[in-house]
Amino acid sequence: MSIEFKNVVKEYEEGFKAVDNLSITFEDKKLTILIGPSGCGKTTTLKMINRLIEKTDGEIVVDGTSLDEIDPIRLRRSIGYVIQEIGLFPHMTVFDNIAVTPRLMKWDESRIKKHVFELLDLVNLEPSDYAEKYPAQLSGGQRQRVGVARGLASDPKIVLMDEPFGAIDPINREKLQDGFLEIQSKIEKTIIFVTHDIREAIKLGDKIAILDDGKLVQYADTMTVVQEPANEFVEDLLGADRALKGLELVRVRETYVPGGKWIEDTGDCKVKKAKDFLVNEGRKFAYVVDGSKRLKGYVMLKQLSKASDEEPLKKYLRSIETIQPLSNLMEAMSLIMNTGLSSLPVVDDKERLLGILRFKDLVNLVGSYESSDEE
């Protein structure tokens, strides 16, 4: 579901606008970060979406319907909301905490039980160990996982998250972020995520909206914000050493080239097929996949040209390092350096080939950070 803000204003005291004429469309199934200095209006913007705060002026439209036309209580039940750990009820078990909204929505208990267990699995808490525990018996990181599960409990299409990992120490925070990325790639919700941590923003966001003084300063894909900060304010937010940070913070999925032409070997492929392919395509090497697109390795023209046409191709297959879409470009860079090839195959968790990550794109990226630092 997309969420469209049209000239939205929130005025607190006379003349003081916490949100000042904001127009922005949060896109369907994307994770959009709201970031900016303290007091810039992030939380106010977020809470206007579930009407915990009522706007003063303008319009907010969700999938064609104005929010003013939806009963606030019904609205809140249909939107997930995850905040820092104070959100859990201390006298309720983990199970009951997660089940709050489904019960309000009058789901039957067997459906609730199945769903709560699925959610605990999703956030990596073993249901049989954790369902009957109380919040005080959990670590901060575990409580926050329960908070995420609760935010997803009513199967909402929209989830609002207000600094959900803000109170967690840096090491556990990384783990929660990694886990959360996995979750988002599976559930594909429209998520609006408030943070003041630019590393978290770049790591998690599909898009980033930067606010200052209640106004929108920049709104773009994460990569664009990193490469082309709109002004000095955004540059300062990103920090000085972007060239290095950039590679560490950008994911393979943002940079690789999906698809491509590969050699398929279902078991009986001969050298000739691969040779013809390489010559026709004007390439020095090519990846080889099996019938299910799983990567088997690569072959090089230099070696095949000495082989006879009818030999089985598998004799000349060489294995290769692979990388997954959620890995960062720093990891990719060191793997590429090791292999000495001009690209790295990107595969999913079943080793199916998704596309390639080109060395030259990494080099360009570093170059672009460096040149924009000099300006």
Ligand X SMILES: Nc1ncnc2c1ncn2[C@@H]1O[C@H](COP(=O)(O)OP(=O)(O)OP(=O)(O)O)[C@@H](O)[C@H]1O
- The sign one gets for the Cα dihedral 183, 186, 192, 196 is positive
Question: Which of 196/273 has CB closer to ligand X?
Answer: 196
Specify the DSSP element, H or E, that contains 193.
Answer: strand 190-194
Tokens read off for 6: 């049209």
The rounded radius of gyration (Å) of the Cα atoms in the chain is: 25
Q: How far is the CB of 171 from ligand X (least distance, A)?
A: 23
Q: Which residues bind ligand X (CB under 6 A)?
A: 12, 18, 36, 38-44, 196
φ and ψ of 219, to 5 deg = -145, 110
Which DSSP letter does residue 27 get? P
Question: Which of 37/260 has CB closer to ligand X?
Answer: 37
Q: How far is the CB of 266 from ligand X (least distance, A)?
A: 56
Question: Which of 12/89 has CB closer to ligand X?
Answer: 12
Distance of CA 118 to the CA centre of its chain: 21
Q: How far is the CB of 53 from ligand X (least distance, A)?
A: 8
Using a 10 angstrom Cβ sphere, with 0-12 exposed, 13-18 middle and 19 or more buried, the burial of residue 160 is buried
With a CB cutoff of 8 Å and minimum separation 6, the contacts of 211 are 34, 35, 36, 40, 41, 42, 45, 217
| Cβ atoms within 10 Å, residue 81 | 23
Q: How far is the CB of 144 from ligand X (least distance, A)?
A: 17
Question: Which of 9/92 has CB closer to ligand X?
Answer: 9
Question: Which of 15/64 has CB closer to ligand X?
Answer: 15
Q: How far is the CB of 211 from ligand X (least distance, A)?
A: 7
Give me the residue label for tokens 């929505």.
Answer: 105
Q: How far is the CB of 36 from ligand X (least distance, A)?
A: 6
Q: How far apart are CA 363 and CA 375, in angstroms?
A: 19
Question: Which of 41/246 has CB closer to ligand X?
Answer: 41
Question: Which of 48/304 has CB closer to ligand X?
Answer: 48
Give the N- to C-terminal CA distance of the chain in Å, as an integer.
39
Q: How far is the CB of 76 from ligand X (least distance, A)?
A: 18
Give me the residue label for tokens 């000349």.
Answer: 316
With a CB cutoff of 8 Å and minimum separation 6, the contacts of 366 are 243, 246, 247
